[in-house]
Amino acid sequence: MSIFGKNFKKHAHNYSGRVYNSDRKWIVPFFVSLVVWISLISAAVFGVYSSSSYDKDLVNFDVKSDDFEGSFDEIDVDKASEFPKDKAPRLAYLISGTKGDSKRMLRTLQAVYHPRNQYILHMDLEAPPRERMELTMAVKNDETFSEVENVRVMAQSNLVTYKGPTMIATTLQAIAILLKESLDWDWFINLSASDYPLVTQDDLLHVFSNLSRTLNFIEHTKLTGWKLNQRAKPIIVDPGLYLSKKSDLAITSQRRSLPTSFKLFTGSAWVILTRSFVEYCIWGWDNFPRTTLMYYTNFVSSPEGYFHTVICNTQEFTTTAISHDLHYIAWDYPPKQHPRYLTIKDFEKMVNSSAPFARKFPKDDVVLDKIDQELLGRTHRFPQGAWCVGSSDDGSDPCSVRGDDSVFRPGTGAKRLNGLFEQLLSDDFRSKSCPS
């Protein structure tokens, strides 16, 4: 707010300065009054804006947390990420898909839905306009989504190349939109249409309430050995950056040397990142995230390296990186390149893993129905949650009436998650962060 104001005045000042040197003296008073006028208008606009967001926060505190009544002046409204630890957290989800994925995206969205959270859906450019329209309309026509206003479909659709930097660019764009549109979220979570949750949002939010808001879940290792040669030396070009039709990555015949000013890390492309870390990446006040982004533009499988390399080379964040992606993924064996489709045979292993998410699932597989039934208690659109306070008589949907969204009713999923986090947060596990 103040930054914008300052820039604005600086511009206005420069402008009137230039005019002052010219012969047309009448312009001076004209511009002086114009500057005054613009300042007044912008002050009024920002006055209204800041007071409305201030009011919103005030209301949130009144409604959701008795402890903060009357003590809100201690809370910095501009710093949503530094809310007190005991306030219930909010998650921001990106769910991405391509041609033919709209139904699965909706199903995953419903399975991870909670009114406290934020959601953004991206359908890549390969999907026909009609399918994107269907998705947009389905979101628009959902009563709950349109009342809570926390689901958006990205209007701009990008061409996304598998293993290319266009994937990172889209993820960063989604984060930027989430930052711009909503002050109130603590973690960013990346899912695709073939992902599905294994715990309810009540479980997840309950367990995350107890976590330090500085922790990033990003599975990582140092890039070494043959992988260095295979990943870091080739130079690729992602045609998705400049062509309008999807095609494979182009690999050039030249190779480049390994970087010496930073170390390369690699790991799972599935990440749960804190707001402060993604702000660091998006804003780039330290040029390192941007430099890394440009370096990764010509890197194979950049989604498996960008955030990992940024976090492990930035001292402020190295100790916040927990090396786990919170996903259950079964790899084909050999050659461990592609995740295997999960079926009903994997159910027990999935649950035993205690991971909150799993991938990848075939479209509408029966295992999803089993998850709905046994793990999520999903009888209607959404999984069970304390926010659903309507009646379930005569088969009606209890979530059609919304209650307090900061009250959670954790179940067995929360127990599993707590077990997993105990492991992940142990000193032994954490000492493995960003190996040097």
Ligand X SMILES: *[C@@H]1O[C@H](CO)[C@@H](O)[C@H](O)[C@H]1NC(C)=O
The site string for ligand X over 172-201 (x = CB under 6 A, - otherwise) reads: ------------------x-x---------
Contact 102, 127 (CB under 8 A): yes
Residue 192: CB minimum distance to ligand X, A: 3
Q: Decide whether 139 or 167 has the Cβ nearer to ligand X.
A: 167
The site string for ligand X over 231-270 (x = CB under 6 A, - otherwise) reads: --------------------------------------x-
Q: Decide whether 174 or 368 has the Cβ nearer to ligand X.
A: 174
Q: Decide whether 164 or 383 has the Cβ nearer to ligand X.
A: 164
Residues in region 352-391 near ligand X by CB under 6 A: 352
**Secondary structure of the chain in HEC code, one letter for each residue:** CHHHHHHHHHHHHHHHHHHHCCCCCCHHHHHHHHHHHHHHHHHHHHHHHHHHHHHHHHHHHHHHCHHHCCCHHHCCCCCHHHCCCCCCCCEEEEEEECCCCHHHHHHHHHHCCCCCCEEEEEECCCCCHHHHHHHHHHHHHCHHHHHHCCEEECCCCCCCCCCCHHHHHHHHHHHHHHHHHCCCCCEEEEEECCCEECCCHHHHHHHHHCCCCCCEEEEEEECCHHHHHHHHCEEEECHHHCCCCCCCCEEEEEECCCCCCCCCEEEEEEEEEEHHHHHHHHHCCCCHHHHHHHHHCCCCCHHHCHHHHHHHCCHHHHCCEECCCCEEECECCCCCCCECCCCHHHHHHHHHCCCCEEECCCCCCHHHHHHHHHHHCCCCCCCCCCCECCCCHHHCCHHHCECCCCCCCCCHHHHHHHHHHHHHCCHHHHCCCCCC
> What is the number of other CB atoms lying within 10 angstroms of the CB of residue 226?
7
Q: Decide whether 170 or 433 has the Cβ nearer to ligand X.
A: 170
Residue 303: CB minimum distance to ligand X, A: 3
Residue 210: CB minimum distance to ligand X, A: 4
Q: Decide whether 167 or 375 has the Cβ nearer to ligand X.
A: 167
Q: Decide whether 31 or 277 has the Cβ nearer to ligand X.
A: 277
Residue 190: CB minimum distance to ligand X, A: 4
Q: Decide whether 80 or 167 has the Cβ nearer to ligand X.
A: 167
Q: Decide whether 106 or 269 has the Cβ nearer to ligand X.
A: 269
Residue 301: CB minimum distance to ligand X, A: 9
Distances (CA, A) of 224 to 229, 230, 232, 244, 258: 8, 10, 10, 35, 11
Residues in region 199-228 near ligand X by CB under 6 A: 210
Q: Decide whether 31 or 408 has the Cβ nearer to ligand X.
A: 408
Half-sphere exposure of 6 (CA within 13 A, CB side): 3
Residues in region 283-322 near ligand X by CB under 6 A: 303, 307
Selected binder of ligand X within 139, 154, 168, 312 (CB under 6 A): 168
Distances (CA, A) of 174 to 113, 122, 153, 188, 370: 18, 8, 10, 10, 31
The site string for ligand X over 12-51 (x = CB under 6 A, - otherwise) reads: ----------------------------------------
Alpha-carbon span 213 to 93, nearest angstrom:
16
Q: Decide whether 110 or 171 has the Cβ nearer to ligand X.
A: 171
Q: Decide whether 12 or 205 has the Cβ nearer to ligand X.
A: 205
Residue 386: CB minimum distance to ligand X, A: 14
Residue 253: CB minimum distance to ligand X, A: 26
- Choose one: 131-139, 322-330, 344-352, 370-378; the region binding ligand X (CB under 6 A): 344-352
- Choose one: 80-88, 165-173, 226-234, 239-247; the region binding ligand X (CB under 6 A): 165-173
Residues in region 66-105 near ligand X by CB under 6 A: 96
Alpha-carbon span 373 to 395, nearest angstrom:
15
Query: How many residues contact ligand X, by CB under 6 A?
Result: 15
Residue 21: CB minimum distance to ligand X, A: 51
Residue 124: CB minimum distance to ligand X, A: 9
Q: Indicate whether 418 belongs to the interface with ligand X (CB under 6 A).
A: yes
Contacting positions for ligand X (CB under 6 A): 96, 167-168, 171, 190, 192, 210, 269, 271, 303, 307, 348-349, 352, 418
